[in-house]
Every structure is written in C-alpha cells, then in structure tokens.
Amino acid sequence: MAVAPGDMRFDVAERLTGNYIGGQWVAAQSGQRRADVNPADFSDVLGEFAESGGVDVDVAVDAAAQALDHWRGIGPIERAGYLTKAGRILEARSQELAYAITREQGKLLKEATGEVQRALAVLEFTAGQARLLGGVTAPAEEARTFAYTFRKPIGVVGLIAPWNFPLAIPMWKVAPALLAGCTAVLKPSPLTPLTSALLVDVFREAGLPDGVLNLVQGDAAAGEALVANPAVAGISFTGSLPIGTAIHAGGAHRLLRTQLELGGKNAVVVCDDADLDKAVNAVVHGAFGQAGQRCSATSRAVVDVRVREEFLERLVARVAHLRVGPGFDEASELCPVVDTARRDAALAAIAGAQRGGGKVVCGGGREERPELPEGCYVQPTVIRDVPWDAELAQEEVFGPVLAVVDADGFDDALRITNSVKYGMSGTVFTTSQTRAFEALERFEAGMLHVNRPGVGAYAHLPHVGDKASQYGPPECSPEVFDFYTAWHSACISY
Ligand code: NAD
C-alpha cells in the first residue's frame, strides 16, 4: 500500500477522542485526557483521548444493561445481520483502520493491513456461527417428555484489551459477545484508543442499537471499575499475567466469570535433523515480526548443540540486515516498539541477559540513525548461550529480543521448552515424523506448529494457551460461546 506523505498525519475527528455510551460520543466525566503519541515519531500526537474514571464506567454499564432486554430478545440470526453489515463497512474503511493502527501502535503498514483482514475474518466467522448456536435434544427418562439444552447470554460483559492487536483482539471479543446476545463495555488499552474508537464507529455506522456496544477509554482505574461493577456478568481480558490474575481475584468474591488470555514465552525447537533455512525463516518472522510484540512471538530458540553454530550463522546473517524504521516506510522490515516503557524494558532485559552470561551476537541496543525521527526503535537482538533458567529464558520481554538456548538432544529441548510458567505456542523443526508427533504430544502449550512459524492463527481455530497463558474458554472458535453464554436444560412433559 503506497502512503502519500500527507496521509500519515490525517486529522482525528474530535468526537472519536471521547467515550461512546448509549449511542452518543461523550467526554469523560473525569475531565481527564491522555495524549496518543506515535511511537515512530514523538512529534506526532494523534490527539488527546478520554482518560475515564469509575463514574464513566458505571454510566456505560447502565447503558449496556438498559439495552440488554431488546438485544437478547431479537435472536442470533438478526444479531448476525449487524455483524455482517459491520464487516462490509469495515472493508470499506479498511485503509483508515490500517493507517490508524500503524500510526498509534507502530507496526508496519502491511502488518496493520493484515490485522484488518484478520478482524474481517473474525467477523465473518462469528456471523456464520449464528445458525449453529443451538443445543442438543436429549433422551428423556419419562414417557411423553421432551428434553433439550440451550444457551442464554450471560448479560453485560466487560471487554478489556491490550495494544498489540488493537483491532483484531477487541473484534474477537466484541463480535462473539454481541452475537451471543450480551451487551458490552469495551475498555481498550490507553496506548491505542483511536483504533478502538474506529471499531465502535463501524458498528455505529452499521446501525447497532444504542447501548449494545459502549466504549470507555482509560487505564487501570477504568478497568478496575468494570471488574467491580456488580451489573457486569463477565470480564474477557487479554493482557499480562499480573493484571489478569488481579482481575480474577478482584471478581472472585462474587464468582465473576472471567476469560483470561495472558502472556507467553514461546519456543521454537530446532532439532539436529531440521531444515535450517526453514527454521531460520520461521524464527526471524516469529521473533521480529511486529517487533516481537505478539503473545505467540518466538522469544526462545531452543537449538540442538549439534546444529547450533550453523543455525546461528544463518540466523545472524538475516537478522543483522533487518531494516528498523517507521511502519509507514515501505523499506522498513522491523517496526518500533509501542512506547518508551517497552523500549526500556527490552533494553533492560538485554543488559540482564548479558550479566547472566548471555552473549549478544546481533543488535543489543537502540537503533539510532540520523534520518530516524525520535521514537521507540530497538535493534533486532539475538543473544546466544542463554542458560535455560535465566530470566531472559523464563520471562516475557515483548520486544525484538531472541534468546538462543542450547539443548543436548530432543528430550532436553522439550524439557527446556516446558520449563517456563507460560504455555502459549510451541513449535518444532524436524524432518522426523516421530519427533514431530512426540513434540505435539509433549509440548505444554496451546497452539502448536511443526515446520512453520510459531505465530499466526486462524479466525476459526481456538486461540488458546496452557498453564499461565490462559484461563477459561478459548477465543476465536465456537468454544468462545461457552464464555458469553450459559448452558441451560429444559424438560417438557405433555
Ligand atoms: P496489560 O496487562 O498491561 O494491560 C491490558 C489491559 O488491562 C489494558 O487495557 C489496561 O489498561 C488494562 N488494565 C491495566 N491495569 C488494570 C487493572 N488493574 N484492572 C483492570 N484492567 C487493567 O497488558 P498490555 O501491556 O496492554 O499487553 C501486553 C500483554 O498482553 C503481554 O503480556 C501479552 O503477552 C499479552 N497478550 C496476550 C494475548 C493472548 O491472546 N493471550 C494477546 C495479546 C497480548
């Protein structure tokens, strides 16, 4: 997609900087605002967006509660009509959405365009589920009795989202919530408020009834108010493990239903019989695509020592030439990270790994070239000889930093892979069918890959993790409706 110079600094309509409650764009009652800054160029401020407090959240929850009876009453097939219409509008506005994502989140424009396509696929898949959202008829124990199961929407839901997929992740919460018959309050990340405002605007344009989908911008105070509001029947959260755990604990006293999609420390295992070029391609894509800011990003390469030197040589030859730059620049191959906090965390993780014996073989610092604007540019970094139990090999970095960990054979590689608390994705490169199936059996991770990158998922396959990466029903699959609906049974004697 070619970007004309003026396109990058489009004006943001004032209404989109507020909250969207009960069908109206409104300013936050808190009176607070927060600047939305382009991570590729600090001189580019998109706008001052609402920074909401508890009162704003409570008003939004009231609006969602008022809209609930009508919305759950019309049934899934009529509701799907709104999703289909929103899909058409999203397609027509796809460039606007992609530009917003690149400008406020920083990812490459082609990555942002891919994210819009993913959001569209999620909408299409979810709308299609309307005709399948039934239960079963069951045998009755008595004569002249009919028994069946059916789902009911759980009510008002709170949707709390991160910044790394600012369109796709909110969409894979909003779409099934609405189809199921829930009404919703979306609280996106304060780092990407515009993309969420545009998502909500797409549904507004599709004619969604007032109050069915509400948007409250803000951070922890708004998120906590959503969790604390007794009219909220469920919270679907995507973000970090500590915040997810706090949300779960915060709602436990009233048995709040939670769906938590959390962090990852994902490994690509490179066996001694692997196709090394394929493995290198996958690791480059998985570790440095979106500057490593994916929950499924490859952050460890667990490599058999017998092929380690050859693997590293080929890997470094590729990574050293990755061009770091703004997402709007077609020559860029690696985008900035989202903000200074993430940048500093990545740099601190690199320094910590070096203190622990890791050796930087590529990158290792900020990317500084005279022509780059002031922004959050981190060099793609490869660190070898990282002990399997070092902090860099155990904790999420969420930046363009790859730990290469030695493994002494296949069993050792699997032991190391499974040594972390997380279990988002697991990938193996091997030409042995036996090893491939054994890895799939033994990986303690939800999304598994053989001889392909460990990132990238389909709109219709469960987005799912093991261990501390996930709690509750998976997203992006028919199983998601086990979160947004509750099962009921009925027996009718006649
Ligand atoms: P984060 O946990 O800092 O924030 C996530 C959301 O929670 C934001 O909207 C934030 O405003 C809100 N929040 C913050 N404090 C809160 C509180 N006390 N109560 C309620 N809400 C609160 O995460 P992030 O930095 O936005 O995103 C990065 C994290 O998300 C990484 O750990 C990454 O692995 C994870 N992630 C997971 C998936 C997945 O599907 N499992 C996908 C993408 C990102």
Distance CA 237, CA 231 (A): 17
Cα 15 to Cα 21, 50, 153, 215, 269: the distances in Å are: 12, 10, 31, 12, 49
Nearest CA to ligand 1 atom 40: 261
Contact criterion met (CB below 8 Å) for 216 and 185: yes
Contact criterion met (CB below 8 Å) for 71 and 177: no
Nearest residue to 61 (alpha-carbon basis) of 179, 169, 187, 151: 187
What is the pLDDT averaged over residues 280-303?
Answer: 98
Domain coordinates in residue numbering, the chain: 14-262+470-493, 266-458
Query: Given pLDDT bands bounded at 50, 70 and 90, which one contains residue 2?
Result: low
Cα 322 to Cα 278, 334, 367, 409: the distances in Å are: 17, 7, 11, 30
Catalytic residue at 295? Answer: yes
Q: Which of 115, 191, 243 most suits a substitution to test ligand 1, by most atoms within 8 Å of the C-beta?
A: 243
Query: Given pLDDT bands bounded at 50, 70 and 90, which one contains residue 300?
Result: very high
What pLDDT is attached to residue 5?
Answer: 58
The backbone torsions φ and ψ at residue 490, rounded to the nearest 5 degrees and listed phi first, read -140, 140
- Token code pair at residue 237: 């959260």
Average pLDDT, the chain: 97
Q: Tens digit of pLDDT for each residue in 309-358?
A: 999 999 999 999 999 999 999 999 999 999 999 999 999 999 999 999 99
Which residues are registered as beta bridge partners of 215? 20, 186
Q: Tens digit of pLDDT for each residue in 346-357?
A: 999 999 999 999
- Token code pair at residue 2: 């070619």
Distance CA 124, CA 341 (A): 36
Percent of the chain with pLDDT over 70: 99
Contact criterion met (CB below 8 Å) for 165 and 296: no
Instruction: Kindly name the residue from 182, 295, 335, 362 that is annotated as catalytic.
Output: 295
Q: Tens digit of pLDDT for each residue in 32-91?
A: 999 999 999 999 999 999 999 999 999 999 999 999 999 999 999 999 999 999 999 999
Q: What does the H/E/C string look like for the chain?
A: CCCCHHHHHCCCCHHHHCEEECCEEECCCCCCEEEEECCCCCCCEEEEEECCCHHHHHHHHHHHHHHHHHHHHCCHHHHHHHHHHHHHHHHHCHHHHHHHHHHHHCCCHHHHHHHHHHHHHHHHHHHHHHHHCCCCEECCCCCCEEEEEEEEECCEEEEECCCCCCCHHHHHHHHHHHHHCCEEEEECCCCCHHHHHHHHHHHHHCCCCCCCEEECCCCHHHHHHHHHCCCEEEEEEECCHHHHHHHHHHHHCCCCEEEEECCCCEEEEECCCCCHHHHHHHHHHHHHHHHHCCCCCEEEEEEECCCHHHHHHHHHHHHCCCCECCCCCCCCCECCCCCHHHHHHHHHHHHHHHHCCCEEEECCCECCCCCCCCCCCECCEEEECCCCCCHHHHCCCCCCEEEEEEECCHHHHHHHHCCCCEECEEEEECCCHHHHHHHHHHCCCCEEEECCCCCCCCCCCCECCEECCEECCCECCHHHHHHHEEEEEEEEEC
* Ligand 1 neighbour 396 (Cβ under 6 A): yes
The answer to whether residue 4 scores a pLDDT higher than 90 is: no
The answer to whether residue 1 scores a pLDDT higher than 60 is: no
Distance CA 329, CA 442 (A): 42
The answer to whether residue 268 scores a pLDDT higher than 60 is: yes
* Ligand 1 neighbour 56 (Cβ under 6 A): no
Q: Which amino acid, residue 481? A: F
Q: Tens digit of pLDDT for each residue in 366-397?
A: 999 999 999 999 999 999 999 999 999 999 99
Distance CA 80, CA 30 (A): 35
Q: Give the sign of the dihedral formed by CA 472, CA 474, CA 479, CA 485.
A: positive
Picking from 2-11, 401-410, 442-451, which range would have the lowest pLDDT averaged per residue?
A: 2-11
What pLDDT is attached to residue 319?
Answer: 98
What pLDDT is attached to residue 456?
Answer: 80
Q: Which of 165, 189, 420 most suits a substitution to test ligand 1, by most atoms within 8 Å of the C-beta?
A: 189
What is the pLDDT averaged over residues 288-294?
Answer: 98
Task: Indicate the CATH number for domain 14-262+470-493.
Answer: 3.40.605.10
Catalytic residue at 51? Answer: no
Give the Å distance between the CA of 268 and the centre of ligand 1.
24
Give the Å distance between the CA of 304 and the centre of ligand 1.
34
For the CA of 161, the nearest atom of ligand 1: 9
What is the pLDDT averaged over residues 220-236?
Answer: 98
Give the Å distance between the CA of 56 and the centre of ligand 1.
20
Q: Which of 157, 227, 240 most suits a substitution to test ligand 1, by most atoms within 8 Å of the C-beta?
A: 240
Q: Tens digit of pLDDT for each residue in 429-471?
A: 999 999 999 999 999 999 999 999 999 878 899 999 999 999 9
For the CA of 219, the nearest atom of ligand 1: 11
What pLDDT is attached to residue 6?
Answer: 63
Domain 266-458 homologous superfamily, CATH: Aldehyde Dehydrogenase; Chain A, domain 2 (3.40.309.10)
**Residue the block writes with tokens 């289909």:** 84
Nearest CA to ligand 1 atom 18: 220
Query: Given pLDDT bands bounded at 50, 70 and 90, which one contains residue 271?
Result: very high
What pLDDT is attached to residue 457?
Answer: 77
Give the Å distance between the CA of 263 and the centre of ligand 1.
9
Give the Å distance between the CA of 160 and the centre of ligand 1.
8
Query: Given pLDDT bands bounded at 50, 70 and 90, which one contains residue 9?
Result: confident
Give the Å distance between the CA of 162 and the centre of ligand 1.
5
- Token code pair at residue 135: 């239960």
* Ligand 1 neighbour 105 (Cβ under 6 A): no
What is the side-by-side order of every strand in the sheet holding 485-493?
Answer: 137-138, 145-153, 485-493
How, if at all, do strands 266-270 and 425-429 pair? Answer: parallel
Instruction: Kindly name the residue from 51, 111, 224, 261 that is annotated as catalytic.
Output: 261
pTM over 0.85: yes
